[in-house]
Structure 1
C-alpha cells in the first residue's frame, strides 16, 4: 500500500513514522487490501484538528482522529462509476488526520505508551476508511473486535 505521511507538527521521530507505516501495512495485509491502494496520514496538533472537526463535522473541539473516506457516499450523492476504473486508477482509501497532542493526552489518561495510542488511532481511522463504523452496537462490536485482532496480532497490546 502506498501511504503518504505528512507531519505538520514536525515533532514525530522517524521511528514513530516507520512504526505507523509498518502497522498500517500489516492492517492492509490483514484486510487483504491491494498493494497499489493509496491513502494519506497527516499528523497535526489539537488546534489544527479542531479546525477540521469544526468545519467538516460541526464539532468545535479537538478530537483524536478524523477519517475522510473517498469511497464513502452520502445519502444524496450518486456514485461515480468508471467502466474501467479499476484498471485506470489505483484505489484511494482517503485521508486520516491524527492529533499527536490528543494521542499523548489519551496515552497518559489510559496508562499506556504514546506509540500504542498512535498505533491505535491509525488502525481505528484505517478501519473507518475501509467502511467500518461504530454507530450501531453490532457495527461497534465488529469494528472494535477487528481493531483488537489487528493490534494484538501485530503485537501492540495495552
Structure 2
C-alpha cells in the first residue's frame, strides 16, 4: 500500500504512526495491497478554505475526505481492486480543541479522525442514525484494535 502523510500544519506529529494506522485500517477493510491513500494535515486557514469551498460551511472543521476511485471494503476472501482511495485532510488545531473537550490527547483525537476520514472514503456515512451507529462502531473497533496491537 502506498500511504503518503504530509504535515503542513506546523503541529508536530509522528507521521509514521498515522501511516501505520492507515495501513492497519486498509488491511482490516480488505483493500488491495496496491491501494493508494494520502493524509494531509493543514492549519485552520487552509481547512477553512476547503470547508467553505467543498462543504459550503463556514470556519474550519476537523476532517474532510475526498474520495477518488470510490473503492469499497472488500471481504476476507475477496479484496477490492487496486486504486486510489483518496485524500484525508486533518486540522490538528481543531482536533486539539475537540480532544481537550473529550478529555483525551490530541494525537488520540487525530487518530480517531483519520479512521473516520478513511471510512468516509470507503462509503460510510453518519447522516442517518442507523448509519451513524454502524460507522461509529466500526471506527471504534478499528482504532481500539490498532492501539492494542501497538
Residue aligned with 1:108, SS: helix
Q: Offset at 1:10?
A: 3.5
* Aligned twin of 1:114: 106
CA distance in 1, matches of 2:10, 2:2: 21
TM-score by length of 1: 0.82
Residue aligned with 1:155, SS: helix
Question: Which residue, 94, 109, 126 being the options, matches 1:134?
Answer: 126
Q: Offset at 1:105?
A: 1.0
Contact in 1 for aligned 2:9/2:91 (Cα 8 Å): no
CA distance in 2, matches of 1:19, 1:155: 10
Residue aligned with 2:85, SS: strand
CA-to-partner distance for each residue in 1:54-74, whole Å, 9 max, x for gaps?
Answer: 0111012110000011134xx
CA distance in 1, matches of 2:12, 2:89: 14
Structure with bigger gyration radius: 1
After TM superposition, where is structure 1 displaced by more than 4 Å over at least 4 residues in a row?
A: none
* Aligned twin of 1:61: 59
Q: Which runs of 5+ in 1 are unaligned?
A: 73-85
Q: Which runs of 5+ in 2 are unaligned?
A: 71-80
* Aligned twin of 2:3: 3
Residue aligned with 2:119, SS: helix
TM-align CA RMSD: 1.4
